[in-house]
Amino acid sequence: MGGTKVTDNLPLKFYHAPNSRSGGVRVLLEELGAAYDVHGISLARQDQLKPEFLAVNPLGKVPAIVHGNSLVTEQVAIYIYLADYFSEAGLAPGLHDPQRGPYLRWLAYYGSCFEPAIVDHAQKREPGTRGMSPYGTYEGVIDTLEAALKAGPFLLGEKFSAADVLWGGALKWTMGFKIVPERPVFVSYMERVTSRPAALRVSELDAALATTLSA
Ligand SMILES: N[C@@H](CCC(=O)N[C@@H](CS)C(=O)NCC(=O)O)C(=O)O
């Protein structure tokens, strides 16, 4: 959906820093064909720690969206919210669709297992005792993800969903930083997702935004 944007009566403001975790949300907005206004955040300038943004997200983290009067922070919540709200794009299985459970599972897996595991791994921190860890072991998290992606072409099989937008982008940056091994399953999946027109469009839009923010 590169052309006409889906609008409703509610303005959608998107707090976004190029080359950060918020990039995936921009790809999702483009995949959904949603109309949105970008509020650019320069992490280099530490805009995320300025009072204006801390009033939006006290944690000083992007992404965040304000849709009408609804504030949504946290990537996974934003993906669920947007894909359901703009459901006509078909990127979220409906409430009674048998794929709804696996869809939510893999979105939640990102925030509650993958992120803590890769951050501990990158910082060379021990996960602690198994019973206290939210994910078990780093290897277990990576192997389980690989098994889920193996059949392909997407997480839910033939159906492309918002969960793929999240995971395609996440694997791109985590493999780029060598936090996640470049296994063939991950590489081909990541390339399949990040070569879609919406992702390519965001690369161009974000390059322009990064230039503006650094001026
Ligand atoms: N819990 C947040 C974390 C998002 C996050 O880590 N954002 C990074 C961008 S890559 C950030 O805003 N960093 C700025 C900072 O820590 O100062 C989510 O899931 O959305």
Could you read off the pLDDT of 163-197 as tens digits, one per residue? 999 999 999 999 999 999 999 999 999 999 999 99
Residue with tokens 């595991």: 117
Residue 211: which residues within 8 A CB-CB, separation 6 or more? none
The answer, yes or no, to whether residue 7 has pLDDT greater than 70, is: no
Q: Best mutation site among 15, 16, 19, 21 for ligand 1, i.e. most ligand atoms within 8 A of its Cβ? A: 21
Whether 33 is in the pocket of ligand 1, judged by its Cβ within 6 Å, is no
Residue-range definition of the domain harbouring residue 67:
12-91+205-214
3 pLDDT tier (thresholds 50, 70, 90):
low
190 and 118 together in one domain: yes
The answer, yes or no, to whether residue 1 has pLDDT greater than 80, is: no
120 and 63 together in one domain: no
CATH number of domain containing 170: 1.20.1050.10
pLDDT in tens, 105-146: 999 999 999 999 999 999 999 988 988 899 999 999 999 999
pLDDT of residue 62: 98
- In angstroms, rounded to a whole number, what is the distance separating the alpha carbons of residues 79 and 121? 25
User: pTM of this prediction?
Assistant: 0.96
Tell me, rounded to whole angstroms, the distance of Cα 92 from its chain centroid.
Answer: 14
168 and 193 together in one domain: yes
- In angstroms, rounded to a whole number, what is the distance separating the alpha carbons of residues 82 and 176? 27
Alpha helices by DSSP H, 152-195: 162-176, 184-194
Q: In this structure, is residue 79 part of a structural domain?
A: yes
Centre of ligand 1 to C-alpha 48, Å, is 9
Q: In this structure, is residue 181 part of a structural domain?
A: yes
Q: What is the DSSP letter of 5?
A: P
Ligand 1 nearest-atom number relative to CA 63: 20
Centre of ligand 1 to C-alpha 67, Å, is 20
pLDDT of residue 6: 72
pLDDT in tens, 20-62: 999 999 999 999 999 999 999 999 999 999 999 999 999 999 9
pLDDT of residue 72: 98
- In angstroms, rounded to a whole number, what is the distance separating the alpha carbons of residues 178 and 53? 31
Residue with tokens 């992007």: 62
**What is the phi-psi region of residue 60: left when phi exceeds 0, alpha when psi lies from -120 to 50, beta otherwise?**
left
The residues facing 67 across adjacent strands are 12, 70
pLDDT of residue 162: 99
Q: How many CB atoms lie within 10 A of CB 13?
A: 16
The answer, yes or no, to whether residue 211 has pLDDT greater than 80, is: yes
Q: How many domains does the chain have?
A: 2
The answer, yes or no, to whether residue 2 has pLDDT greater than 70, is: no
From 212, 211, 108, select the one nearest 163 (Cα to Cα): 108
69 pLDDT tier (thresholds 50, 70, 90):
very high
191 and 115 together in one domain: yes
Please give the structure tokens belonging to residue 61: 């983290």
* CA-CA-CA-CA torsion sign (59, 62, 63, 68): positive
Q: How many CB atoms lie within 10 A of CB 180?
A: 25
Whether 21 is in the pocket of ligand 1, judged by its Cβ within 6 Å, is yes
Give me the half-sphere count of Cα atoms (radius 13 Å) on the Cβ side of residue 102: 14
